[in-house]
Amino acid sequence: MFFLTRSCGILLPVSSLPGRWGIGDLGPGARSFVDFLSRSGQKTWQILPLSETDGALGNSPYSSPSAFAGNHLFISPDDLFKCGLLTAADTAELPPFPGEKVDYPTVRAVKEKLLARAFERFAPSEEYETFLQQNEHWVFDYALFSALKQRFGGLSWNQWPDELKLRDGNALRTAATELRESVDFLLFKQYLFFSSMERLRRECDEKGVELLGDLPIYVNFDSADVWAHPNLFHLDENLLPVEVAGVPPDYFSETGQLWGNPLYNWEALREDDFSWWIKRLQHSLSMFHLVRIDHFRGLLAYWAVPFGDRTAEKGVWRDVPSEAFFASLRKNIPSASFLAENLGVITPDVTDAMERMSFPGMAVVLFAFGGGMKDNPHIPHNYSATLAAYSGTHDNNTALGWYRDDASEEERNTLGRYLGRMPDEKEVPDIIVRMVLSSVAQRAIIPLQDYLGLGSEARMNTPATPSGNWEWRADELCFTEELSIRIKQLSEIYGRN
């Protein structure tokens, strides 16, 4: 582990950072936040996936056209000024950006225009060529895939002409030549993104802050990964999914959750010792000190739903060759640091695998009050020291929003009985934060919104809603010295500094 003692940190997506470009980015705002964390006694900055997003898919960082590519919206124009790739004239006529929300269409238009101007001034360097060499296993496929998507008006790759859909070598070389400028522009943006990430990680190292990243377990069907490696996914002779991902019906959903991602062909992955997965994990660890694996239980067994079904009810459980996979992981990345997302109904085999691999799990206090507390893994008195404990995650409401808008009367009363009194609603964020910090969990992670005492207006994501998510941004005026001192004092009170 990066930190073996009690520690605490803040969950804040990069997109939620303040700044003048309509969306948080990896530039001065991110480096300033690292300094804020350090001054506030925090050892961890947890972020959401930094992958490319798609407005048609609700801008979710968990729905991306690439498992490897970075989101060019997080490239900082301020950094491009410093290296001479942008001038003041390039930003003379910027549209107004709302301060409290990300306006994705406007941000995309502006960032694309600024990056195109920077590209006109860019001269490939030795560092750029080294980046291409080190990432050749994915970056050229991604760039050509994205350029072809643009050429065909956004059509899914399985609707392209057969010679491109089936990746005929001559057709790919011809397309790469014809689309050379578009491909080079896409490569340039990836170079800028990963250069920015490298600078941010160095800043974190210098300030003693651990970067905790997030790895979605599945990829989109319409992605560079499935197009470039269809044999690694469970597709039929027409290159359509045989089955798709989801989770079965449970207490929260009578029909389950139908995610729709293509499922992995684990036997094909096994044939070359899971090299695609190993490269993906190594790629994430090159950016982050620790990586949270979303839906970890899918690495033991997965719920497979027939392609075309409208609900997840008729799925079946299928096993993963997990022993072989984890053996490959131990061999190829022996010192890897991972956090297992183990929320929901978890079977003993998942818990056993986490213990064998020394992967900490998660607990979320907002899940603690909905039923009996004797066996509830989310109530603090049931925590183990190896956990990463949260007040809430990106999928939860804020603590105040939960108490005001989501919690049932039973949950409010249970919280009151646990405290020994009924709290005033304005006290709830601080109470929940202190429950997490005072617990025995090794790591305690608090969304920034809960330190600020914000309500539902600051919620990041509401699962199963198609729009209005991933937009909240912090006000730069909230990062006061008073807030820093309060957060640091809390970390000291509970032995986390």
- The active-site residue, picked from 168, 294, 425, 430, is 294
Note whether 19 and 77 are within 8 A (CB). Answer: no
Q: Which two tokens stand for residue 427?
A: 């006290």
Cα distances (Å, whole numbers) of residue 16 to 11, 25, 26, 66, 387 = 10, 9, 11, 22, 26
- The active-site residue, picked from 103, 163, 198, 395, is 395
Note whether 51 and 71 are within 8 A (CB). Answer: yes
- The active-site residue, picked from 341, 411, 450, 471, is 341
Question: Among this protein's residues, is 395 annotated catalytic?
Answer: yes
Phi and psi angles of residue 238, each rounded to the nearest 5 degrees, phi first = -95, 10
Per-residue b or e along 286-321, where b marks 16 or more CB atoms closer than 10 Å to that residue's CB: ebbbbbbbbbbbbbbebbbbebebeebeebeeeebe
Q: Which two tokens stand for residue 195?
A: 């250069």
Question: Shortest CA distance to 140 belongs to which of 187, 188, 174, 72?
Answer: 187
**How far, in whole angstroms, is CA 5 from its chain's centroid?**
25
Note whether 353 and 334 are within 8 A (CB). Answer: no
Collapsed DSSP state (helix, strand, coil) of residue 462:
coil
Q: What is residue 381's DSSP assignment?
A: G
The angle, 0 to 180 degrees and rounded to 10, between the axes of the packed helices 180-207 and 169-178 is 80
**What DSSP string runs through 463-492?**
TT--SS-S-B---GGG--HHHHHHHHHHHH
Instruction: Give the long-range contacts of residues 194-199, CB within 8 A, separation 24 or more.
Output: 194/70, 194/131, 194/135, 194/287, 195/127, 195/131, 196/25, 196/26, 196/27, 196/74, 196/75, 196/76, 196/79, 197/26, 197/50, 197/70, 197/287, 199/26, 199/31, 199/79
Note whether 204 and 210 are within 8 A (CB). Answer: yes
Distance CA 147, CA 124 (A): 20
**At a CB cut-off of 8 Å and minimum separation 6, what does 451 contact?**
10, 429, 433, 483, 486, 487
Distance CA 180, CA 478 (A): 45
- 3-state SS record for 132-184: HHHCCCCHHHHHHHHHHHHHCCCCCHHHCCHHHHCCCHHHHHHHHHHCHHHHH
Question: Among this protein's residues, is 214 annotated catalytic?
Answer: no
Question: Among this protein's residues, is 294 annotated catalytic?
Answer: yes
Q: Which residues does the annotation mark as catalytic? A: 294, 341, 395
